[in-house]
Amino acid sequence: MFHPLSEPTNQGLSDRRRFLRAAGAFGAGAALAAAMPGAGLARRALGAERPPENAAPNKRPLMQIGILLGTFARPTVEARLDAARAHGLLCAQLSMDCAGLAAMPDHIPPELADRIRRAAEQRGIALVSLHGTFNMCHPDPSERRAGLRRLHVLASACARLGTPTIHICTGTRDRANMWRRHPDNDSPEAWRDMVACVREAVGIARQENVVLAFEPEVNNVVDSARKARRLMDEIGSPHLKVTMDAANIFHAGELARMREVLDEAFALIGKDIVLAHAKDLSRDGDAGHEAAGHGKLDYDRYLSLLDASGFHGPLLLHGLSEAQVPGCVAFLREKLARVASKRV
């Protein structure tokens, strides 16, 4: 079925040039994006490789502030993109429910994907990631199979959407809520099922020439950077990388060791980060639910570690209301300027 979308607003050539100068690249996903047919603006904007380790720090580009597009409640994708652009945001993560489909749909009409891509390009916004989370450790194998089938639907639409990366999670043994911790998450059976599901998902990603970026999260089976490293090593594929959300990696009692936990995480998986999230936390032992700058996360340390790892890709705001967007964007810009000023 065709999904009519509103007509795009015009953007000047200077906006497009400004975007191309400003938008960052993100490591391993960039090479795949460059090969993606029809990737348009996102392919061009995200086509550069992670800079060499011996590159002068002041020559490295900074990461780019973006947002999860669902932050903006609007009737059309175009209106959501307009809202992002109005805040000066030049990259975004798309969820298909922003276009009137399920977040994990059974079908994406090609004409809808084409129009979303054109709308983003005309506004100078790179769709850097597609939301693709499902419970990869659900105790019911049929649930995992259904998730994999829908993931393939998303992956096969990425070329038309111009989106080189799909954001995923590793899931939980909880049957009802994939963001709720379950005692069996630490069982060998949970790890076995999750790895098998991730391996199939990576096969889909390889077939469709995209990157899957999973997020270590305290309530999921991969609940730490150590387990993230273990998963990366077991799968051993350039199509599997990391989404880093520093607000989601603190187990109960670990906030007092924040610097140590962050440093260890980046030592283990820093070079595999292709997406970064920007939100905050008020306590440990759970995922963060606060807007960036409204909690206890040491953003100076977080952003300096991202920068030192060579990451200069999308830093995506989420977990915030639309009213909080201007303040959070200003907060991140100030913190990123501080990171840049400390480069030598």
User: What pLDDT does 6 receive?
Assistant: 38
State how far the alpha carbon of 325 is from the alpha carbons of 224, 246, 315, in Å: 28, 19, 14
Listed by start position, the domains of the chain span 13-49+57-341
Q: Report CA-CA distances (Å) from 131 to 56, 57, 68, 331.
A: 34, 32, 9, 25
The per-residue pLDDT for range 241-254, each reduced to its tens digit, is 999 999 999 999 99
Predicted local distance difference test score (pLDDT) of residue 36? 54
Q: What is the mean pLDDT of residues 79-83?
A: 98
Q: How confident is the model at residue 288 (pLDDT cuts 50, 70, 90)?
A: confident
DSSP conformation letters of 247-274: GG---TT-GGGHHHHHHHHHHHHGGGEE
d(CA 61, CA 192): 39
Residue 57 phi/psi, 5° resolution? -55, -40
Q: What are 323-344's pLDDT values in tens digits?
A: 999 999 999 999 999 999 988 6
Whole-angstrom CA distances from 39 to 139, 162, 205, 230 are 36, 4, 16, 32
Least confident of 49-53, 70-74, 288-292, 339-343: 49-53
Kindly indicate the confidence band of residue 50, based on its pLDDT and cuts at 50, 70 and 90.
low
Q: What angle do CA 221, 227, 231 make, to 5 degrees?
A: 90
pLDDT of residue 295: 95
Other beta carbons within 10 Å of 257? 14
pLDDT at position 231, please? 98
265-277 pLDDT, tens digit each? 999 999 999 999 9
DSSP 143: H
pTM, whole model, 2 decimals?
0.86
What pLDDT score does 145 carry? Answer: 98
What is residue 328's predicted lDDT score, i.e. its pLDDT? Answer: 98
| 203 pLDDT above the threshold of 60 | yes
- For the segment 6-18, the average pLDDT, to the nearest whole number, is 38
- Mean of all residue pLDDT scores within the chain: 87
Fold of 13-49+57-341: TIM Barrel (3.20.20)
Using the predicted structure, report yes or no on whether residue 115 has a pLDDT greater than 80.
yes
User: Which of 57-71, 120-134, 247-261, 294-308 has the weakest average pLDDT?
Assistant: 57-71
Give me the percent of the chain exceeding a pLDDT of 90: 77
pLDDT at 46: 47
Distance CA 291, CA 289 (A): 7
The confidence score (pLDDT) of residue 314 equals 97
